[in-house]
Amino acid sequence: MKTRGAVLPLVITVLFCITLMLTALMKLPGGVLRVERTLEKKLQAIYDAESQILLQLYGLPSHDVSVRQAGPWLELSSPAGTWGRVCVVAGRQYDSLSRASKRELVERFRVTLNQEILLGKNIQTKSGNRRLFGPAQSMSLVVENGDLLVDVFGPAKVCNFKSYGTMTLRGAAEFDTLRVYSSGQMFFAGDLKINWLEAYSADRIEISGNVHFSGAAVANGSVLLRQHALAMYPSALLSLNAPVEYEPKNIADSLLLPAYEDDAGVSLVPFGWSLL
C-alpha cells in the first residue's frame, strides 16, 4: 500500500505533463502554418529578386534591377518585398582582351578612381615629398610635386591617397578601403591587409612582403606580385603595356576584370550575394 501511495503522485504528475504537451500540440499546427506561409513568401520574394538579377547578368534587362558602380565592380540589386533588397556584386570574366578594349578598361578605371579620391571626405593637398608614420587613420591626401611614403600600423576605415611621384605603402596596417593613385611607381610591402583595394599607377605596381588584398591593381606598366603577397577573391590585376607577373601561391582564386554600368553582352561573374 505504501508503494502504491508513493507511485500515485508520480502518475498524476506524468498525466499532467502529458495533458500540457497535448494542449500545446493542439495549438501548434496553426502557428506552424502561419510561420510556414511567412517563410514561403519570404523565400519566394528572394527567389524572384535573384531571378531578375540573373536575367540582368545574362544580358536580359529587367526594370526591377538597379545597377550602380561599386569601385571596380558592379552592384546589382532587386527588391524582395518587405524583406529588403537582394544585392550582388559582379566583375567581368577574365578572358582575352583586344588592345583597344584593354586601353578603354584601364582608362575608365583610372578616371573613376581619380574622381573617387578627389571627392574624398576632408581631402588635403600638400606639396613636396611627404611621409606618414604612426597609427593608421582614415584620411584623404593629394601630394603634388613629390613622392609619398605611408608607413603606418593598426586599423583604418577609408584612406584615399594620390601622388604625382612615387608612392610606397608599408607597415602593419589593416584598411577597410584603400584607394591609391600614382603618376609614378607604386610599391606595397610589409604586413598589410586591404579588404577593398583600388590602385592605379601610370608607371608600375609591385606588391611584395606579406600583403593580402582584394580589389583591383591596374597599371600602364607591369603589375608584379612577389614573395608572400596574396590576391584574395575577388581581385583584378591588369596591365596595359607590360606583363602581369605572379606565382600560383600569390592568387587565392580566379581573377576578374573591372566591370562598368554599360558593359552589355560581356560575361559577368557574380559574388557576394546578400539580403539588405
| Bridge partners, 141 (sequence order) | 124, 161
Q: Measured on CA atoms in the order 107, 110, 111, 113, is the torsion positive or negative?
A: positive
101 compared with 231, residue with greater pLDDT: 231
Long-range contacts formed by 99-102: CB under 8 A, 24+ apart: 102/238, 102/240
User: Residue 5 — very low, low, confident or very high, per pLDDT cuts 50/70/90?
Assistant: very low
Mean pLDDT is highest, among 61-75, 79-93, 224-238, 259-273, for: 224-238
199 compared with 57, residue with greater pLDDT: 199
Q: Decide: 114 and 162 in contact? Cβ < 8 Å.
A: yes
Q: Decide: 242 and 222 in contact? Cβ < 8 Å.
A: yes
The residue with cell 600602364 is: 220
Give which of 128, 166, 170 is closest to 152, Cα–Cα.
Answer: 170
What does the pLDDT look like over 83-128, one tens digit per residue? 899 999 999 988 878 889 999 999 999 999 999 999 988 999 999 9
pLDDT of residue 1: 41
Q: Decide: 143 and 162 in contact? Cβ < 8 Å.
A: yes
Q: Where are the alpha helices (DSSP H) in the chain?
A: 2-57, 99-118
Taking residues 227-243, report their average pLDDT.
96
pLDDT of residue 64: 87
Q: How much is the mean pLDDT over the chain?
A: 88
User: Residue 148 — very low, low, confident or very high, per pLDDT cuts 50/70/90?
Assistant: very high
Peptide bond into 243 cis (omega under 30): no
pLDDT of residue 238: 96
What does the pLDDT look like over 249-258, one tens digit per residue? 999 999 999 9
pLDDT of residue 36: 64
Cα separation, 142 vs 79, in Å, equals 39
Cα separation, 44 vs 126, in Å, equals 54
Taking residues 56-77, report their average pLDDT.
87
3-state secondary structure of 270: strand
Report phi then psi at 34, rounded to 5. -65, -45
User: Residue 28 — very low, low, confident or very high, per pLDDT cuts 50/70/90?
Assistant: low
pTM: 0.84
